[in-house]
């Protein structure tokens, strides 16, 4: 007896006709069909399907009939559907191969692509004021051609301009073209909002029509919903990653009504497919016309981080593209080398849909690293040596500095404070750090008070800490002033001073003001609007109100550019976070600099202290990370930013040599 498998496209169901009793009497077959949510009518069996899983469901039905030796035939309608599907698959394979050729800049022999690239360039010349450099142009063409893609360019490569280039082309397609877009939805950190708006003006010579869904507490929920349901919303919508979930249903409606390119900036923040941010962002992406991922760190923790990025750009095909399950990618991270067969296969699978610009591709002008050895003043020397001598004995007994060793990590922070400005020691640790290195993993109340410090019981010594600034000015403060007055200001230069500790930022600002130098703060405690005003004024060439910014890398290491007028950075002190350190350097060393412009970095290192150890270990770590960055898919978990064990071990060795 032969069965017929038919399809009802109106109700998205497969219909099985024939001697239905042969199926209903087979309990094993019925049990297997149960997972397909079948229902039985008098003369047919109905099996529902979703549009995105139509072929998969059909394949399961056919496989079951074969397994139970039941003859079947496909209706003409299903044969037509299969032919259409197979043609789509062939087209997608051809499309993917062409995307790969564009990505690799190997399409010169393809007349159709060459013609499209010429057309692309002409559209940009006619509609953009800003000219893209060759790699940006190629990246923008790839993004426009692929329509759904990832850009893994390093910080400073001009990813925002690349997106605007792709958007310009897609926007100028005929409205009836299925790839046409005329709206932008940017999901990113708050610090990225102003750059997106400013770059729009730089690219098109117009103020953008934009609406911020996050970052302004004065905008009511009603106002946000009014924007999303407006018949003619502004061209550019901006929202924080964590804000999408609340408006998920509304964004889906928005995207159904507006032809939108959805961009996730700093997309490593949505890497967790089970996280609220990742789930909500990938869910709304199903209704986008074009989807773009932007991040310089695509796999910060492991190859599994790529999973959600590709789920975003291809929500209905990402598994076919990746060809690896999430747990396969996790295993690959732990058990595969960079050159392993599996890793190479993954790169090949995903390569048509991403492009990466490496640091070496940018041909940036030179940098000058200037290390300044700081000799501590007498009181600071006494305080530092006293604390270090107490801590070293503890470190010898327990030389681990992982995130679990909270007391050791707290002691390392205290040593760094003593090496830069002993007055910081009088504050609880929770008030010292912008983005607390110690929160999230532990009970903060257990160590965030000075009660845990061994020196606290020495009242005379503690009095020296409390009143330190009445005894002397920290040598690093005086050195900053000296560099500004003798080196940077005579050349009409501007400078950004990076400091880890928030109290340092306030005290340094006060110290500079008493010496006639105005400065502004870029730290988490400063409202977003004020930060944006500071950055705008700092980047304005003829602004002489202030030439110094004091910043914290936890707050402003991402998404801002300061290179237009600033070519000097002073590192007042550094921690062991290599990623933040490199990102902070990129704030002033980016695409757009004059080829002869030298960027100078000044590193303060207190002699005979933990500063020397951090300087050495961080230098080794940077070399290792730069090697990783040069890979197409840089796996940053090979550099552990949460383990300071090597700092402790080298500190013990360094101390022994000094004493």
Tens-digit pLDDT profile for residues 208-254: 999 999 999 899 999 999 999 999 999 999 999 999 999 999 999 99
Q: Residue 21 pLDDT > 70, yes or no?
A: yes
Confidence of residue 434 (pLDDT cuts 50, 70, 90): low
Confidence of residue 448 (pLDDT cuts 50, 70, 90): very low
In angstroms, what CA-CA distances link 31 with 24, 25, 347, 499, 586? 10, 11, 40, 65, 60
Residues 49-78 have a mean pLDDT of 86
Domains and CATH numbers, the chain: 2-74 (3.30.70), 85-362 (3.40.50.10810), 367-372+473-642 (3.40.50.300), 377-469 (no CATH)
3-state secondary structure of 210: strand
Which pLDDT belongs to residue 439?
33
- The residue length of the chain stands at 659
Task: Report how far residue 172's alpha carbon sits from residue 127's, in angstroms, rounded to the nearest whole number.
Answer: 9
Which pLDDT belongs to residue 514?
97
Q: Report yes or no: 199 and 160 within 8 Å, Cβ to Cβ.
A: yes
Look at 52-61, 78-87, 205-214, 379-388 and tell me which has the smallest mean pLDDT: 78-87
Which pLDDT belongs to residue 436?
43
Q: Residue 649 pLDDT > 50, yes or no?
A: yes
Confidence of residue 622 (pLDDT cuts 50, 70, 90): confident
Look at 110-124, 237-251, 335-349 and tell me which has the smallest mean pLDDT: 335-349
Q: Residue 558 pLDDT > 80, yes or no?
A: no
Look at 335-344, 422-431, 619-628 and tell me which has the smallest mean pLDDT: 422-431
3-state secondary structure of 226: helix
Residue 312 tokens, joined: 């975003």
Stretch (H or E) spanning 134: helix 134-146
Q: Residue 444 pLDDT > 60, yes or no?
A: no
Residues 471-491 have a mean pLDDT of 96
As a whole number, the mean pLDDT across the chain is 89
Which pLDDT belongs to residue 554?
81
Q: Which residues pair with 356 in a beta bridge?
A: none
Which pLDDT belongs to residue 77?
87
Which pLDDT belongs to residue 405?
79
In angstroms, what CA-CA distances link 466 with 88, 245, 460, 510? 73, 46, 10, 18
Which of 353 and 638 is assigned the larger pLDDT?
353
Which pLDDT belongs to residue 445?
38
Confidence of residue 640 (pLDDT cuts 50, 70, 90): low
Which pLDDT belongs to residue 33?
86
With pLDDT > 90 as the criterion, what percentage of the chain qualifies? Answer: 61
Which pLDDT belongs to residue 659?
84
Q: Residue 79 pLDDT > 60, yes or no?
A: yes
- Residues ≥6 apart with Cβ < 8 Å to 51: 12
Task: Report how far residue 84's alpha carbon sits from residue 509's, in angstroms, rounded to the nearest whole number.
Answer: 68
pTM: 0.83
Residues 4-17 have a mean pLDDT of 89
Which pLDDT belongs to residue 639?
67
Pairing of strands 39-40, 44-48: antiparallel
Which residue from 612, 603, 615 is spatially nearest to 655, judged by alpha carbons? 612
Residues 193-202 have a mean pLDDT of 95
Which pLDDT belongs to residue 221?
96
Confidence of residue 452 (pLDDT cuts 50, 70, 90): very low
Q: Residue 428 pLDDT > 80, yes or no?
A: no
Which of 79 and 445 is assigned the larger pLDDT?
79
Confidence of residue 479 (pLDDT cuts 50, 70, 90): very high
Residues 407-414 have a mean pLDDT of 88
DSSP one-letter code for 376: P
Which pLDDT belongs to residue 337?
83
Please give the order of strands across the beta sheet that includes 71-74. Answer: 39-40, 44-48, 13-17, 2-8, 71-74
Q: Residue 548 pLDDT > 60, yes or no?
A: yes
In angstroms, what CA-CA distances link 376 with 217, 382, 506, 530, 550? 45, 9, 21, 35, 22
- Give tens-digit pLDDT for 261-300: 999 999 999 999 989 999 999 999 999 999 999 998 888 8
Look at 247-261, 405-419, 519-533, 640-654 and tell me which has the smallest mean pLDDT: 640-654
Which residue from 341, 286, 348 is spatially nearest to 322, judged by alpha carbons? 348
Which pLDDT belongs to residue 81?
79
Which pLDDT belongs to residue 240?
96
Q: Residue 442 pLDDT > 70, yes or no?
A: no
Which residue from 507, 376, 389 is spatially nearest to 458, judged by alpha carbons? 389
Which of 10 and 446 is assigned the larger pLDDT?
10
Confidence of residue 19 (pLDDT cuts 50, 70, 90): confident
Question: Which residue, chain included where needed, has tokens 């000058």?
Answer: 368
Q: Residue 67 pLDDT > 50, yes or no?
A: yes
Confidence of residue 404 (pLDDT cuts 50, 70, 90): low
**Strongest mean pLDDT among 32-41, 321-330, 523-532:** 321-330
Helices vs. strands in the chain: H and E counts, helices first: 26, 18
Residues 616-639 have a mean pLDDT of 82
């Amino acid at each position: 007896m032969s069965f017929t498998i038919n399809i009802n496209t109106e109700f998205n169901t497969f219909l099985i006709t024939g001697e239905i009793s042969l199926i209903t009497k087979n309990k094993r077959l019925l049990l297997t069909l149960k997972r397909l949510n079948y229902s039985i009518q008098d003369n047919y069996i109905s099996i529902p399907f979703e549009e995105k899983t139509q072929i998969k469901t059909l394949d399961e039905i056919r496989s079951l009939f074969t397994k139970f030796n039941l003859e079947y035939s496909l209706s003409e309608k299903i044969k037509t559907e299969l032919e259409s599907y197979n043609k789509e698959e062939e087209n997608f394979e051809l499309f993917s191969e062409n995307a790969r050729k564009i990505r690799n800049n190997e399409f010169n022999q393809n007349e159709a692509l060459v013609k499209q690239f010429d057309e692309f360039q002409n559209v940009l010349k006619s509609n953009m004021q800003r000219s893209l450099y060759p790699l940006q142009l190629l990246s923008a063409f790839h993004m426009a051609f692929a329509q759904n893609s990832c850009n893994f360019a390093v910080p400073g490569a001009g990813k925002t301009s690349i997106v605007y280039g792709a958007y310009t082309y897609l926007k100028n397609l005929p409205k009836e073209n299925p790839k046409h877009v005329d709206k932008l939805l940017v999901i990113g950190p708050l610090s990225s909002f102003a750059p997106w708006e400013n770059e729009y003006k730089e690219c098109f010579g117009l103020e953008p029509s934009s609406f911020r869904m996050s970052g302004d507490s004065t905008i009511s929920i009603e106002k946000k919903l009014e924007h999303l349901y407006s018949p003619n919303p502004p061209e550019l919508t901006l929202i924080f990653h964590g804000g999408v979930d609340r408006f998920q249903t509304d964004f889906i409606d928005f995207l159904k009504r507006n032809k939108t390119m959805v961009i996730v900036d700093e997309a490593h923040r949505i890497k967790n497919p089970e996280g609220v941010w990742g789930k909500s962002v990938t869910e709304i992406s199903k209704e986008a016309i074009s989807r773009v991922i932007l991040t310089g760190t695509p796999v910060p923790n492991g190859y599994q981080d790529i999973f959600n990025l590709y789920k975003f750009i291809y929500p209905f095909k990402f598994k076919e593209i990746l060809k690896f399950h999430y747990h396969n990618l996790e295993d690959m991270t732990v058990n595969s080398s960079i050159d392993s067969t599996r890793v190479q296969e993954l790169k090949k699978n995903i390569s048509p849909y991403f492009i990466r610009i490496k640091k070496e591709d940018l041909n940036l002008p030179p940098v000058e690293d200037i290390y300044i050895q700081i000799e501590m003043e007498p009181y600071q020397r006494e305080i530092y040596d006293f604390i270090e001598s107490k801590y070293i004995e503890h470190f010898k007994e327990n030389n681990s500095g992982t995130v679990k060793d909270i007391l050791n990590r707290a002691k390392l922070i205290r040593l760094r404070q003593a090496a830069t400005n002993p007055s910081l020691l009088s504050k609880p640790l929770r008030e010292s750090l912008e983005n607390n290195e110690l929160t999230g993993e532990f009970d903060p109340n257990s160590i965030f008070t000075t009660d845990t410090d061994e020196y606290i019981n020495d009242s005379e010594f503690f009095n020296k800490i409390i009143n330190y600034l009445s005894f002397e000015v920290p040598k690093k403060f005086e050195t900053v002033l000296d560099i500004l007055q003798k080196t940077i200001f005579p050349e009409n230069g501007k400078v950004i001073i990076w400091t880890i500790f928030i109290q340092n930022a306030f005290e340094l600002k006060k110290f500079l003001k008493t010496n006639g130098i105005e400065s502004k703060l870029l730290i988490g405690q400063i409202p977003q609007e004020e930060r944006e005003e500071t950055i705008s004024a700092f980047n304005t060439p003829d602004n002489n109100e202030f030439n110094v910014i004091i910043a914290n890398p936890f707050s402003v290491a991402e998404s801002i550019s300061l290179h237009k007028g600033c070519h000097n950075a002073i590192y007042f002190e550094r921690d062991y976070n290599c990623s933040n350190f490199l990102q902070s350097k990129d704030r002033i060393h980016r695409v757009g600099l004059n080829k002869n412009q030298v960027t100078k970095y000044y590193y303060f290192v207190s002699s005979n202290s933990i500063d020397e150890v951090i300087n050495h270990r961080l230098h080794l770590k940077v070399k290792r990370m730069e090697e990783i960055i040069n890979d197409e898919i840089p796996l940053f978990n090979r550099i552990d930013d949460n383990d300071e064990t090597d700092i402790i071990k080298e500190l013990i060795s360094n101390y022994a040599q000094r004493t």
